[in-house]
Chain A
Amino acid sequence: MSIHRRTLIATIGAGAVGSVAGCSQFGSGSNQADGDGSDGSDGGNGGQSDSEDAQQPGVAGETLTLTTTTSTYDTGLLDAIHPDFEEMYGVTVDAVAQGTGAALETARNGDSDIVMVHARGLEDEFMRNGYGINRRDLMFNDFVIVGPEDDPAGIQGMGSATEALTAIADAEAAFVSRGDNSGTHTKELNLWEAAGTEPGGDWYQEIGAGMGEALNNANQQGAYTLSDRGTFISQRSEIDLVILVQGPIEDGPEILANPYGVMAVNPGVHGNANYDLAMAYIGWITSPGAQEAIADYQMNGEQLFFPEAVSENPDFQQYVPQGWSSDSSDS
């Protein structure tokens, strides 16, 4: 009993010192000077009375700012899996849902600790500029071209996404573009380029809005649009659009694959980035447990994301910009 009391008093003392120091890292130092009882890793989160909490990692009580894309957030995936991480480390994850472009820009300004996005080209640029490090492939789903059921451009079941877009352009059927520099918008522009078609004219509408709004907009005017499968599934019950061309999940063209990556903000560029916690997050979300949770996440009875971090094969390309090789002079 007396040992318990000593632990309690030591913990409270350490907590008081920690909170006076106002910073968990310094708090843990003075903690050790206090001597016995707690193990010194408690830090600013001190003051809890049982010794089990005194074993909490030094990051406890900190906040991880994650900028991500609307598709991971709006589908409810992050809210579903984050409690596990928050509990494990005693931390809070602030998920800010922006487009991929905005999410990376926020990280460039040093305003987030970690990014989870889906536009490999933009991610590579982010890494090459030195802002992002320790990239991992996280999960994937695919893009789908959706449109009205009567399908005025006749693209239903086409095996090629580029041919489908060309058909839409030829028919001058209404097409809604995100126009917001998001991952989906980037993919759409890449597809137009691959199709060799320059979209333009009244039928092509850039609306500068999120995926949900784009789907609604397309729904209301009976237009085509490109959507990630996750957002489309989560919204399917509210709209009349149907999937006309789909990606690799249903054996469609590989060009419609939609891989998500996660990477930490480089603490060498932004010294205030919470690098420790960002790496803890990457470790957690690429672990078999969290990957399973991603696979188990369903909406309307359908799986939205397919984990790909756990693999027997070493995929070195996930750590570096695509096409990078140590032999080339490119760095």
Chain B
Amino acid sequence: MPLEPVVQLLSTFLDLPFRDGYVWSIIYVSLYVSVIAVTLSTLFSIPVAIVMGFTDFAGKQFVKSIINTGMGFPSVVVGLVVLFAVSNQGPLGPLELIFTKEAMIMSQFVLATPPITAISLAAITGVDENVRDAAHVLGGTRLDVALVVLKEARYGIATAILAGFGRAISEVGSVLIVGGNITSADGISKTRTLTTAIQLEARQGRYETAMVLGVVLVALVLLVNAVVVRLGDREVRP
């Protein structure tokens, strides 16, 4: 009976043992943190990818391999590093960022930046040489050429942003450490995300509700992907 687990899952979903607003508030915190982190990462990564894609400099391969290594950073390690930075004893201690959304944004920024940079860079360097030449021949300035290349590479860049978003919203190690997985006593999330909520449910052995929250997370990522792809398609129209 392959349908049985699905039915079971659905019935738990309709009857979640959570208080009003709990699930919505953790969805809100998840999106708030990850969207801001990925936006900042994108603003940082794309210019870096453009500069690296259009210029040659000594040590470029080295920088590239550092970025590629960054894609494999364990999120727990990133969490620890950010914790040391924002802890009261750390260099950013006076800002009192520990256990806040801002600290979570910092760690997700660190996690999302390498994949966004690396994949964007691959997309930009992957644009056919002929396209650049044509743009040059037609009298384009450096900026024009860059814009043409960016337009050609937009799918790759969209993929890069989505990969970064996927990394950010699905990671649990660092937001748990720097965010603290806090809700207020009335069950409204302060720094609890979907992933840390799943971790909490699993810790208490409530695997079904953990699973349901997992489904919510996947649905959310799917939704964001659909929206981004849709936006990307719209831009194609002349």
Contact = CB atoms under 8 A, between A and B. Distances in A.
Nearest to B178: A111
Interface of B: 87-89, 93, 96, 98-99, 180-187, 190, 200, 202-207
Interface in A239-270: 239, 270
A213 B87 CA distance: 28
A238 B205 contact: yes
A82 B181 CA distance: 17
A86 interface: yes
A234 B99 CA distance: 27
Nearest to A108: B89
Interface in A45-84: 65, 70, 74, 78-80, 82-83
Given A94-B99, A94-B190, A272-B88, A74 B181 contact: no
B88 A109 contact: yes
Given A79-B187, A109-B87, 9 more contacts: A80-B185, A97-B200, A109-B88, A110-B87, A110-B89, A111-B88, A111-B99, A211-B203, A213-B203
Interface in A124-163: none
A83 B205 contact: no
Interface residues of A, number: 32
B12 to A, nearest CB: 13
A209 interface: yes
A215 interface: yes
Contacts of A109: 87-89
Contacts of A211: 203
B117 to A, nearest CB: 31
A173 B182 CA distance: 38
Contacts, number: 69
A65 B205 contact: no
B185 A78 contact: yes
23 contacts: A74-B203, A79-B183, A79-B185, A83-B186, A86-B184, A93-B184, A94-B182, A94-B190, A96-B99, A96-B180, A97-B200, A110-B89, A210-B203, A210-B204, A212-B202, A212-B205, A213-B205, A215-B205, A216-B207, A238-B205, A239-B205, A272-B88, A272-B93
B106 to A, nearest CB: 15
Q: Which 7 A-B pairs have the closest CB atoms?
A: A110-B88, A82-B185, A212-B204, A96-B180, A210-B203, A216-B205, A212-B205
Interface in A193-229: 209-213, 215-216, 219
Nearest to A265: B88
A181 interface: no
Given A82-B185, A109-B88, A65 B203 contact: no
A303 interface: no
Contacts of A111: 87-88, 98-99
Interface of A: 65, 70, 74, 78-80, 82-83, 86, 92-97, 109-111, 209-213, 215-216, 219, 234-235, 238-239, 270, 272
A111 B183 CA distance: 17
A92 B184 contact: yes
B123 to A, nearest CB: 40
Contacts of A238: 205-206
A111 B184 CA distance: 18
A238 to B, nearest CB: 6
A19 to B, nearest CB: 17
Q: Give the most central of B89, B99, B207: most A CB within 10 Å.
A: B99
B16 to A, nearest CB: 15
B87 A97 contact: no
A266 to B, nearest CB: 13
Nearest to B203: A210
Contacts of B89: 109-110
Contacts of A212: 202-206
